A and B are shown apart, each in its own frame.
Chain A
Amino acid sequence: MPFHSFIAKLVTQRRAAVWWAVALISAASIYVLVTRMKLDTEVLNLLPTGFESVEGLKVYNRDFSQVRELTFALVSQPEDVDKLEEFAPQFAQRLREQPWCTRVLAGAPIETPEGIRDLQSIAVPLLLNLEPAAFNETLALLEPQKIRERLQRLHQELEAGSPRPQIELGLDPLGVIGPALKPFAGNAAMEEDQPLTSPDRTMRVFLTVTNQASLSAFDCQKLMREVKAFQQSAHEGWDGGPLQILVTGRSAYVAEISLSMRHDIVITLLGSIVLVGAVFYIGFHRWLPLLGMGFSLLLCCLVALAAGLLIFHELNMVTVGFCAILIGLGVDFAILVFGRYQQARDEGSDHTAAVSEAVLTLGKAIFFGALTTAVGFMALLLAGSRGFTQLGVLIALGISFAGIFMLTVFFLVLPRKASTPRRDWMFDLVKKYVRWTVRRPGPMLWISIPLLLLLTAIALSPRPPIIFDVSTHSMEPKRSDAGYALKTIMEKMPARWEPVIGMVQAKDPQQLHDYWQKIAAHWTEVQAAGKIKGFSTPAALALSPARLQTNRERLRSANLSAARDALEAAIAAEGFSRETFDSAFTLLEQLQGAAYPSVQLPDWRTQLPPASSWWFLVDRYFAHDPLLATGFVTTNEPVATQEQKEMLHRELPVAGIPMVLSGWSFTLTDLVPWSQRQLILISALMAIFDVTLLAVLYRDWRLWLIQVATLAMAVCAMIASMKVLQIPLNLLNVLAFRLVLAIGVDYGIYVLLVWQKARQLDHDVAGVVKPVILAGLTAICGFGSLGAANNPTLAGLGYACALGLFWSLAATIFFTLPAAAAAEPKSWREESLQPRVKEPENV
């Protein structure tokens, strides 16, 4: 029994068995979804693997506390700057009181008494970590004569009204903490590096570390709900004009992006359903097949998701969102099949015969259509990204299931009794066009070829250039509060652009110390050469056990008792109050203790209170694993070009030190070649597959050539439209080219396969051209509806695909068809248009 007859018999005479099979498959799929559903919410998993910068970002996100930072900004009117200054401490206090807040940085830690006290508490290890020569120099300051001279000088400066003695005595009454902090000098003070007040004083920035359980999208959303509630009440006590309370940070972005993604999925899915339904109804004036189509598509999604879960054990949230694409693609099959089925019914065939006819006529076309699309998406495996791999496999599976279900399950829902035939104006119109263009292909070709060639010329011309947007902004939702906050901060504090990070993992503390000493020295040279604006490293905080040992031995030879006596005497002689020097005596005691080898030096990490603002500095540099640390390089300009990235790749690493360079801007710039490779190489591979498949499929070099030209011109027209309409390419919508190649080629396949087998050209070809037009329109609407997405990359993908499919459809109708006709002798065309069977009235 032929395959088409077998299918027809199965879905018409073994309906119950097929329904049971459907129920079984559905139940199994639902079971898998319910029991195994695990969503991967990590946005970084969408980026390709194998890139050091991407892996670096993942490590940074996973292992450093700084990713739990939220940045708040208060923005006032210029006339309220004094009020803002007064309000800032209240706001900081309120932040500290929030249950989700671990600590707050509202100003440089060294400006507060607590910050000074905390710094004094870790002075000993910092002092002992000095280079031996510097340590000896510092120790010399504790000689009695030096102590006397210093206090005498400070007294005189105090008399002269200098601010210096009060600074110095407040922070460092013994005079040895200053030298211990010298290694920080290269790192710049936090306030200088990251100013917390804008130059015009209208903005104050507050850094907070949150205690959110994890960085997952759901935890970020939960945190941000609490933060939003705080934002609503945080104006309390403010009596000035309008005050903006802005917040940004990784959690703010993740919460927004994940929520906007949910919004996008709902909106675009609803949009797709409404648009597709409208197009279907306009084309066929029937509801039941529409429901059947919806049911079959739902089944495709269900089975594909279940299969995806079984394969990958978890699914990226973005991947699930992209299942909307599957609906756009699967609809094509339903429209084609139903179009042919309905045509057969209108011609008088019964249900079984019409099913058989639809499967016979379109089975091969749908098989190859599904194959090209599946291969197109499977090509995403070459992208090397976990998210895209899942997407590719999921849609490839889904489209294959769509091919199967539309040729089987879909027929179960169709009414077995024929409805009253109605006049089909669309079919009439298409048939007239087919008849005209087959008879006289010249006029149509004279219009379409110059237009397509013109667009091809625009596409190939260097001007206007195609815009390639790889900025972090291109990944933000269109209406992003976090993005607005960051933009405002960047505008008011232009120095605050994102640094490049250099991460180093060491085996032990000594190696970490040695690595960062070398890196700091090297980066100083790079900075001196003007290649970077500045840098900061954890060199001063990376303690060297060897140095500590050497300096402790040296400390043993110092006469600290004499220093203590000299200090007592100098205080009395100069008339200083003793309480000013309390911390100096404490430090002397600690140094005396440290001189004994039996005394265990306290870990400075345990000395700092958890709420100390200095943790902002420490966490900035050190991961949870203290042997993993990062340095920051501020570039002369924000990283945006390959030249900058290459220069940094060349200049920043130090021979023999394994360093990972990363940072968002750096990574996105790093991914541009990957993205371009995606665009060119993988699209080229897809094109090669298409042209090979077409050669096998048609076995007619003229039709093959026509179809290849159609594809090439459609893609060029798409590029030209993007150039003219200034639609930028981004890291995601480069996928559109592959999609267009995969889907666009199907239109030609459907038309030309029927062309080759047509018994009466205008009738048979119009029978497929009408569904192709409807399928094309639904796909364009489906992708176009992505334009409503809040996420610009998703919207960009939608626009690009809609444009590409529009040109594929237009090229198929206005170029492929007349070109195929022109390739045949006039006599053959005339003959082919003659009716071979009696044509019913109402087709």
Chain B
Amino acid sequence: MFKHLSTSLILGFLFLAPLASADPLSPADLKSLLARIREKRAAAPQVQADFQEEKNVRMLNKPIVSSGKIWFQSPNRFRREAKGNAPSLTVSDGQQLWIYYPNFKSAEHYSLGKRSPLDAGIAAITASLNLENVEAIYHITGAKESDGYLLQLAPRNPSMKRLLQTFSIKMNNELQVVRTEMVQPNGDRIATTYSNETRAPIPASTFEFTPPAGTDVTTPLGR
């Protein structure tokens, strides 16, 4: 029921990249590029950056624009803080996912790894940020652009296909992710740009969350 819905969770981490003229990468070059990315990620498995996100959702007439900061630690821990009029906090330690709404003093709790539809969404996020084992999940093509690289990812397995139609990652020459764009099968589109990336160590507590007293906690997927 919920499989096609969880994508929006992913969208905050990805951003749109315009497909400018570019030289396609040969399979060997692509393999080499992915190896370089993995090497870099392995040396510094954590990353934090500011983000700006634009969501075009069918349910809404206007795009939603939000900004904030994300923290990511390989392989699957992350934290996302959205600021502005509708602040929210999303935290995952790889097993649990919390979304907290300070304005409403309410939180949603999801368990991951139980074949929940969310798992595919989280796998999409972590694979793209991590780029580990990414060939197993996506068909990948790449291109060299004047200011970096553009990777085009198409999901291989059906559960991911239900969630994601195309996924592109724009990197600069230092192999930092600067833009991602995700298009969903229902036409929803989420573009995210990242800035001020740093790879300083992140305390483990960043990926932990305990709802403040008085928070109304719900489990929308019932597990």
Contacts and interface: CB of A to CB of B under 8 A. Distances in A.
Interface of A: 82, 85-86, 108, 110-111, 153, 155-167, 169-171, 199, 574-577, 580
A577 B218 CA distance: 26
20 contacts: A86-B158, A153-B104, A155-B60, A155-B86, A156-B101, A156-B103, A157-B99, A157-B108, A158-B8, A159-B88, A160-B101, A161-B12, A161-B99, A162-B9, A162-B88, A163-B8, A166-B5, A166-B59, A576-B61, A580-B58
Interface string B73-94: 0000000101000101010000
B12 A82 contact: no
B172 interface: no
Interface in B30-77: 55, 57-62, 64, 66
A575 B104 contact: no
A164 to B, nearest CB: 4
B112 to A, nearest CB: 12
Residue among A85, A155, A161, A580 facing the most chain B CB atoms (10 A cut-off): A161
A577 B61 contact: yes
Contacts of B61: 575-577
B6 interface: yes
Given A85-B159, A167-B2, A161 B57 contact: no
A482 to B, nearest CB: 28
Interface of B: 1-6, 8-12, 55, 57-62, 64, 66, 80, 82, 86, 88, 90, 99, 101, 103-104, 108, 115, 117-118, 121, 156-159, 218, 220-221
Given A160-B99, A163-B6, 4 more contacts: A156-B104, A158-B64, A159-B55, A161-B10
A580 B90 contact: no
Contacts of B12: 161
Nearest to A81: B157
Contact of B157 (A85, A161, A576): A85
A199 B11 CA distance: 28
Give the interface SS of chain A, mostly helix, strand, loop or mixed: helix
A494 to B, nearest CB: 16
A28 B103 CA distance: 93
Residue among A82, A110, A171 facing the most chain B CB atoms (10 A cut-off): A82
A575 B58 CA distance: 11
Nearest to B223: A192
Contacts of A86: 158
A169 B58 CA distance: 12
A159 B99 contact: no
A157 B2 contact: no
Contacts of A574: 60
Contacts of A575: 60-62
Closest 8 CB pairs of A and B: A160-B88, A166-B5, A85-B158, A82-B157, A111-B1, A156-B86, A163-B6, A163-B5
Contacts of B6: 163
A162 B66 CA distance: 14
Contacts of B159: 85
Contacts of A159: 55, 64, 66, 82, 86, 88
Contacts of B8: 158, 161-163, 166
Given A86-B158, A158-B57, A164 B82 contact: no
Nearest to B64: A159
A166 B156 CA distance: 25
Contacts of A167: 1-2, 5, 220
Contacts of A157: 99, 101, 108
